[in-house]
C-alpha cells in the first residue's frame, strides 16, 4: 500500500466528518450518506454519495447521487434511479436510468444509461442478503466538439449479469461482495468489490477492495485494482 501523502490525509478527514450528517426521510424511505477516499490504485480520488431507498412491495425504488473528484481536481457527477416490481417474494423486474457528467455538472460531456432486466433475491433476512440479476443496457457517450476535435457520439448495447450478497456478524461487522459482467460487440468489462464495514457511532467505517478488467476487441485484457476507506451514515 502506498504511503499516505498530505492530499490523501485531507480527503480522509473530509470523509470522517460525513457520519455526523443527519438525514431525515419519511417512514417509507430510508437513506444514507457515504464518503471516502481511495488509498491506493491507479487514481487517487475522493467520493461522496447520497443513497435513498423505498423498500415497499410490490414497487420498490432506489436513488443514488454521487460526486467523485480525482487527485487532479477533475470531477464527475452521477445520478441514477432504479425501480423494481416484485412478482413474488423472491423475483422481480427492474429498470435503471443513469446519467454521468464529466468535468462539471452540465451536459457538455456526459454518458447516459438506460436498461433493465430480471432478478432473484435468494436470501433476504436482517443479517443476510444474496441476489442475482441479468439485464440489457443502452449506453450513450457524448463529448462536446472542441477546436481540436469534432463531437463524439457513441451508443452501445450491452448485456450481462450481476451477483451480490452481504452478511452481518455479531451486529458489529458487515461483509459485502458484489460482482458484475457486461459484454457488447467490442468491449467486455468485469468488476468485483469486496468490503468490510465496522459499526461506529452514527454509522460505519468501511474498507473496500475493487478490481476491474476490460477487454477491447482482440486486445489483451487490461486490469487494475484499488482499495479505499469510507465512512457511512448507515450500517
pLDDT over 50 (residue 74): yes
- Cell 485494482 identifies what position? 225
Please, what's the b/e burial string for 42-61 (b: 16 or more CB within 10 A of its CB; e: otherwise)?
A: eebbbbbbbbbbbeeeeebe
How is residue 183 written as a grid cell?
Answer: 459484454
Give the Cβ contact number of residue 81 at 10 Å: 15
How far apart (Å, rounded) are the C-alpha atoms in residues 135 and 188? 15
pLDDT over 90 (residue 62): yes
Q: The pTM is what?
A: 0.80
How far apart (Å, rounded) are the C-alpha atoms in residues 190 and 182? 6
Helix (H, G, I), strand (E, B) or coil at 7: helix
Q: Quick one: what percent of the chain has pLDDT higher than 90?
A: 56
**Predicted local confidence at residue 154, as pLDDT:** 85
**Predicted local confidence at residue 26, as pLDDT:** 53
pLDDT digits (tens, 9 = 90+) for 187-213: 899 999 999 999 998 889 999 999 999
How is residue 11 written as a grid cell?
Answer: 480527503
pLDDT digits (tens, 9 = 90+) for 143-187: 877 767 677 788 899 999 999 999 999 889 999 999 999 999 888
How far apart (Å, rounded) are the C-alpha atoms in residues 99 and 110? 7
How far apart (Å, rounded) are the C-alpha atoms in residues 58 and 92? 9
Q: Residues 216-227: what's their mean pLDDT?
A: 88
pLDDT digits (tens, 9 = 90+) for 5-34: 334 434 444 444 443 344 444 558 888 888
69, 102 in Cβ contact below 8 A? no
Mean pLDDT of the chain: 84
**Predicted local confidence at residue 153, as pLDDT:** 81
Amino acid at each position: 500500500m502506498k504511503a499516505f501523502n498530505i492530499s490523501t490525509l485531507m480527503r480522509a478527514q473530509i470523509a470522517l466528518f460525513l457520519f455526523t450528517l443527519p438525514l431525515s426521510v419519511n417512514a417509507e424511505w430510508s437513506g444514507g450518506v457515504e464518503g471516502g477516499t481511495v488509498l491506493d490504485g491507479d487514481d487517487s480520488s475522493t467520493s461522496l454519495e447520497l443513497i435513498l431507498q423505498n423498500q415497499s412491495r410490490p414497487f420498490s425504488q432506489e436513488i443514488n447521487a454521487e460526486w467523485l473528484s480525482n487527485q487532479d481536481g477533475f470531477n464527475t457527477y452521477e445520478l441514477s434511479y432504479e425501480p423494481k416490481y416484485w412478482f413474488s417474494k423472491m423475483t422481480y423486474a427492474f429498470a435503471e436510468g443513469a446519467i454521468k457528467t464529466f468535468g462539471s455538472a452540465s451536459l457538455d460531456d456526459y454518458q447516459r444509461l438506460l436498461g433493465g432486466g430480471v432478478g432473484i433475491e435468494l436470501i433476504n433476512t436482517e443479517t443476510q442478503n444474496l441476489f442475482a440479476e441479468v439485464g440489457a443496457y443502452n449506453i450513450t457517450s457524448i463529448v462536446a466538439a472542441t477546436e481540436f476535435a469534432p463531437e463524439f457520439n457513441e451508443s452501445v448495447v450491452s448485456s450481462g449479469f450481476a451477483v451480490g450478497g452481504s452478511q452481518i456478524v455479531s451486529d458489529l461487522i458487515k461483509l459485502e461482495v458484489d460482482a458484475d459482467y457486461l459484454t457488447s460487440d467490442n468491449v467486455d468489462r468485469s468488476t468485483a468489490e469486496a468490503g468490510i464495514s465496522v459499526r461506529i457511532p452514527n454509522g460505519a467505517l468501511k474498507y473496500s477492495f475493487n478490481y476491474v478488467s476490460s477487454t477491447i476487441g482482440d486486445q489483451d485484457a487490461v486490469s487494475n485494482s484499488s482499495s479505499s476507506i469510507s465512512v457511512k451514515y448507515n450500517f
